[in-house]
Amino acid sequence: MDIPLILAQAFWFLIPAYVANPTAVLFGGGKPMDSGLRLKDGRRLLGDGKTWRGFAGGILSGMLIGGIQHASAWAAGASQFVFGSPLQAALLISLLTCGALLGDILGSFIKRRAGIERGAKTPGLDQYDFLIGATILLIILETGWFLRTYVLDGAIIGLIFIVLITPPMHRAVNVLGYRLGKKDVPW
């Protein structure tokens, strides 16, 4: 079992999801996705923190980075880092980016239903919502790939690694976003 390779692959394949989340912050603003809609509980469906511009910007950025990753691994002959056939790569990268942003939206939906204001700190959900979204889509639509890459034959070590490094990475990126004036709060 090649543990450094497992860890590197686990991280590499999630980069499109890791990119989609903070680039949504960079591109965010404008019309909120829920158009101001309030549910019966009197609270917003999602809140002003989820905008169409952020959603589209995050997806396009994640797809662009994923495409560059795939093409460079292919050009370098690094078969362990290729996302699969061109068609499978397109599907995987779409699932990773859309899943990340849908997870982020689901996180906001849950927060609003729990009565938590937009932007308020919600430990656990804030750090993992995008990862949970991406994972759910992969499990449903690319089950074999997910099991081979993140579960079977020791690959689960990679998944554990991801679960451990995500909160500190999330924190570091948000502190950076805060210092750059892109986020109102450093979480």
Which residues are near ligand CTP by CB under 6 A?
24-25, 28, 47, 49-51, 54-55, 101, 104, 108, 111, 118-119, 183
Q: Is the CB of 10 or the CB of 45 nearer to ligand CTP?
A: 45
Report in angstroms how near the CB of residue 29 gets to ligand CTP at its nearest: 6
Distance set, CA 97 to CA 21, 37, 102, 179, 184 (Å): 8, 25, 9, 25, 24
Which CB atom, from 64 or from 71, has the smaller least distance to ligand CTP? 64
Number of helices (H) and strands (E) in the chain: give both, helices first: 7, 0
> For the chain, how long is the longest CA-to-CA vector?
55
Nearer to ligand CTP, 61 or 108 (CB): 108
In 28-155, alpha helices (H): 52-75, 86-113, 125-141, 143-150
Could you tell me the smallest distance in angstroms from the CB atom of residue 24 to ligand CTP? 4
In the complex, the smallest distance separating the C-beta of residue 37 from ligand CTP, rounded to whole angstroms, is: 14
- Do 58 and 16 meet the contact criterion of CB atoms below 8 Å apart? no
Of the pair 66, 107, the CB lying nearest ligand CTP is at 107
